[in-house]
Amino acid sequence: MQYSDEEFVKFLGEGSYGYVYLVRYTKHDGSSFLAAVKNSYDQDFHNLQREFQILREVRGSSRIIECFGDKLEQCISSYGNRVHKLLLEYASEGSLSSFMDNYTDRKLPVPMIRDFTRMILQGLVSIHDHGYVHCDLKSDNLLVFPCKDSSSYELKISDFGNSLQVEEKPHYWGIDFPFVGTPIYMSPESLCGGAKKTLDFWSLGCLVLEMYTGVIPWQGVEIHDLATRFRNGEVPEIPESLPCDARKFIETCFSKKPEERGSAYELLFHRFLRREEEKKTEEKIRSSKKSFLLKLRIRRDSKKPMDISEKKPLKLKNFLEVKKMLS
């Protein structure tokens, strides 16, 4: 893809395998757009290429960052090094981590937490359906966009630099660093074996906990102590102050048996993520059912059992004819 002009705007940060700039591109028709451009040198080309291929496969999902173009862009740096560039849509509100800084104690409103959690799961449905595990879900890798027609926000999953195919083993796994992604968001099973979809749900539980409390999971715990805590069956502390349905959701994500965490699609139907109107409807149905059963019981109890003596004798028609038949 060629443009008539490109203008550097500012430095945005670093990804898993490169640094990111904000660039304004001008098309040949005079229109322009902003793009977050991830840059990598030759040594990280394969990682960037892999990320680009995954993004192309899941292209069209509204909950996953969009990439532009049909291939990676290339240029030569001022030092004569070849640079590979991945063009991504720009999130003006930044990462979820920086977005949370706008709120008191970094705690998000409960309706927003539910909405963001639902959006993450929608993205995971697409990722998992294509046979991938993200492996590095964290607040730095979730981008916030303002909704065009309202004052609300939407969330998209980004940074697929550590993503693996289901059951694939990471080539960078080692005893000195036995984690697939960012340790404080990783699950116990990430310490060994291939990547499983349920790994992402543990990370999701950490994210929900972070949005409620405003602090990262395992705060104050040294990274080298995490593996020991996992082997002892420990999980991040879930405050009792959290709503019951939120605690149940996080506990599901932290299930010691990965298969008990369910699937992304199943988690979307968890009570925690039901909208208030859906909960009210459910309560009405439950209340109506209880009322119906109560009335049925009262009606049944009010019926007086018939005494045998009250039963009238049966009248036989054509008694004589019947008698002849029996004789």
CA–CA distance, 221 with 225 (Å, rounded to integer): 7
- 94 neighbors 116 (Cβ within 8 angstroms): no
Across the strands, what pairs with 144?
155
38 is in an annotated binding site: yes
CA–CA distance, 87 with 66 (Å, rounded to integer): 9
Q: How many CB atoms lie within 10 A of CB 276?
A: 9
Beta strands 164-165 and 82-89: pairing type? unpaired
CA–CA distance, 60 with 201 (Å, rounded to integer): 22
CA–CA distance, 179 with 193 (Å, rounded to integer): 11
- Cα end-to-end distance, the chain, whole Å: 105
Residues annotated within a binding site for ATP? 38
Residues annotated within a binding site? 38
